[in-house]
Structure 1
């Protein structure tokens, strides 16, 4: 279990605005202007949030004409879910079982 990696990702997602951005992107790719319509903050604030999401690998981006498009990185999101399940759901390699505490 890579606790440090999961903690890094969860820290990025611990901001309610970034969490909402990921939720918006679950519907499909959006340009920055479309994302900004859902919030009452400035373009620089959105850029800050997108930078955090991109640096963590949770979101990817590309240029499409004059727009920057954003999408969830499903591979990373699936890793988050998998790692969380390893913590919250009992399984064969559970920490308590390896320590014989169950």
Structure 2
């Protein structure tokens, strides 16, 4: 089993309302992916409430049966469409992929 974790920091140019709207849209778009992509077993999206500067704004955790399935998910057209939106509203992201025994 593979876990894919991505944390996103929203673009500071967004107003507070734009930021909230963008985070909620990201959450909806990402949570809609599992039924559309066979290689995506599950997706969980969290919106941060920690106000410190060290905190990122949104986190995504996905589950895949294999590294190959993660790769297929990453290149899937439905995922790429969502990713295009996300890239338009974020300034930074970090990623961790790991195997669960």
Higher RCO (C-alpha under 8 Å, 6+ residues apart): 2
> Whose helix proportion is higher, 1 or 2?
1
> Whose strand proportion is higher, 1 or 2?
2
- Structure 1-normalised TM-score? 0.27
- Structure 2-normalised TM-score? 0.27
| Larger radius of gyration between Structure 1 and Structure 2 | 1
